[in-house]
Chains A and B, each alone.
Chain A
Amino acid sequence: MTEEYLLTGARPLGGDPSDIWLRDGRISQISPAGQLSAPDAELIDAKGLVALPGLVDLHAHLREPGREDAETVATGTAAAALGGFTAVHAMANTDPVADTAGVVEQVYRLGQAAGYCDVRPVGAVTEGLAGEHLAELGAMADSSAAVRVFSDDGHCVSNSLLMRRALEYVKAFDGVIAQHAQDPDLTVAAQMNEGKMSAQLGLQGWPAVAEEAIIARDVLLADHVGSRLHVCHVSTAGSVDLIRRAKERGIQVTAEVTPHHLLLTDELVAGYDPVFKVNPPLRTEADVMALREGLADGTIDVVATDHAPHTGEDKDCEWAVAAFGMVGLPTALSVVLATMVETELLNWQGVAERMSVVPAQIGRVNDQGRPLAEGEPANLVLFDPEARWTVDPGIFPGASRNSPFKEMELPGRIVSTFYRGTSTVRGGELQW
């Protein structure tokens, strides 16, 4: 790779204008604007753009193998690049399930072949996501995919003993269990947040307590066995409170929130449009505010997209039969700008930590989430915080259009993404 770029006038983490020289896949030099000369580099005018380390997503569904009609590793990672990501974790609920070294290596290689970003496969905790027997966690860890994050996402590891064993077992290779916290008994046939809106709409409720009860149990288990626990897509104010208290007690728990849970509420279900159907469900305004506060004060460590593409057939139907999930990679940073930065809850440093540095640490991803400094890998994104755009899912790379932000005006636009020194996105467009 001989690409060489000089980004002029960029603002690293929103700071003073600087020139950033990318060469040989690394950041070769950073200097105050106007002081660098790199005669062989292609000049890219980055005046006014915020430079952030390439974003790292801990939670995406790339659907391959099995549902290539909804998304492939290639289209999903293209969507990631468009959203400013240089690494994504691919969830295990594929078909076949990513519960063996063979499947995680396949997904890993598909990511390499696509070349848009690092793909870090997540391994299933239990065979077939069935919640009965541990999958071969060690084999997945030792494979070329070097799995460190394990999750039955889409399903909760609800059996307490199995969860305890999983938490303990992955300590041998520094793994982490990422729990989809949902008590299955409390959420049979659940369709939306249980509360005022479900009562009115006649849809089966998904109560906050079904999430909170599992989180409460899991932090106690993690404490007991001294393991790392990661909580996927925290959605309720009560969950934020539980995690805050667990952290105060020194328990090794981390947590993520999705962009949609930072912005949208269950009031949107009133039209029964399944584009708003997601698991865990959209909650109330009070929950949204608590999630923002939790993300701001570090109770919630990271933003993760839970990018979940679905075909038109699975969404263009009545609510009850529609699939759960929302496309989220291309819109994530804009939503965080709208909900966290423009509200002055986070600065760009804070955004970089929550969308790049910390997710890379939780996932044990080398060469990602690194500082914007000389010698570091050239994974970075240039973002125009002044731009505004109207979301048109029709332009997203994959086959799926299920963005809850469709037709919404969002602030901020990804201008360029660089992945290991290669320009994957320029002028807001994919480079191949």
Chain B
Amino acid sequence: MIEHLLSTADLSRDDAVLILDTAGEMENLTDRSVKKLPALRGRTVVNLFFEDSTRTRISFEAAAKRLSADVINFSAKGSSVSKGESLKDTALTLQAMGADAVVIRHGASGAPMRLASAGWIDGAVVNAGDGTHEHPTQALLDAYTIRRHLCGGSGDLAGLRVTIVGDVLHSRVARSNAWLLHTLGAQVTLVAPPTLVPVGVDSWPVTVSYDLDTVLPETDAVMMLRVQAERMNADFFPSTREYSRRYGLDAQRAALLPQRSIIMHPGPMVRGMEISDDIADSDRAVILEQVSNGVSVRMAVLYLLVGGSREGAGETS
């Protein structure tokens, strides 16, 4: 296994499948009886959030607590690109606290890698979303959700066709999913207006299309990305209405999907723009399940990064 979880590009197929399998075990265990496993007793997990994201923080917090870890929530307020307390000083503080793992959400791409590689701390670093770079645990929970619905809950995603729709340029979810789904054997198609596809995308292991309607009939899972408010008036597209008409998922479009296909969204949704109300609430949407799977996947990640290799050494102290 890897030492930190910074990018899904660092995961081999076997690593990824191991995480998904472990998440499955976590789900079974916590479903059955014990709400808490002793795996990380005596370990400290710090949630270091430079950006507000209650959803992700709560998910990590629940995951760590179910593994019996001590959890410290450290929210460093203020925008990431203004200079408050520096990342370095914060890291040194956490090091002094003896953090075994730092879960970091940061507005600057690469902040988790800096944290892991600059020599400021010893603990494992888990990227909980960095700028417009990656959000690896989101991709893992997406893969977990897809596998559960379309692959019987085991193995990889070989041969599945996954379509990711929306603001690929600024989406950390899209990046993490592109690498991970490819590693797991899926065929990934990105659909977006050309302004929201990064220059350089030709080096990605994906197909790019500008036309959602032609792609949907060939799609097993469609993932709708959030369009952030700050993009809406930056001329990436003429108007939200036009965006919605060309790239939104409404009932008429959803009807183009094959029967067993599922509909996903990493949340929070802009209903009526990316996805219509009725589709978001339809049977084919697995959006709420993505949220609950998030806890199992994050338990698996923390367990494998913090619990595994150092087990024993820490238990006696």
Contacts and interface: CB of A to CB of B under 8 A. Distances in A.
Given A318-B108, A320-B108, A199 B198 contact: yes
A431 B118 CA distance: 35
B81 A319 contact: no
B199 A200 contact: no
Interface stretch (B82-90, B155-163, B285-293): B82-90
Contacts of A195: 199-200
A202 B134 contact: yes
A359 to B, nearest CB: 34
Interface in B181-214: 198-204
A207 B199 CA distance: 9
A324 to B, nearest CB: 14
Contact of B130 (A197, A202, A205, A316): A202
B164 interface: no
A199 B113 contact: no
Contact of B201 (A199, A204, A272, A318): A199
Contacts of A202: 109-110, 130-134, 172, 175
A150 B28 CA distance: 70
Interface in B63-113: 80-81, 83, 86-88, 106-111, 113
A271 B134 contact: no
B114 interface: yes
B117 interface: yes
Given A199-B204, A203-B109, A318 B80 contact: yes
Contacts of A199: 198-201, 203-204
A347 interface: no
A344 B109 CA distance: 40
Contacts of B117: 271, 273
A198 interface: yes
B86 A201 contact: no
B132 A318 contact: no
A319 B198 contact: no
A183 interface: no
Nearest to A195: B200
A266 to B, nearest CB: 10
A196 interface: yes
Given A198-B200, A199-B203, A313 B108 contact: no
A394 to B, nearest CB: 16
A321 interface: yes
Contacts of A197: 200
7 contacts: A194-B200, A200-B9, A200-B203, A202-B109, A202-B131, A273-B117, A316-B88
Interface of B: 9, 80-81, 83, 86-88, 106-111, 113-114, 117-118, 130-134, 172, 175, 198-204
Given A200-B204, A201-B133, A317-B114, 17 more contacts: A194-B200, A197-B200, A202-B131, A202-B133, A202-B175, A203-B131, A204-B132, A205-B198, A272-B109, A318-B80, A318-B87, A318-B111, A318-B114, A319-B110, A320-B107, A320-B110, A321-B80
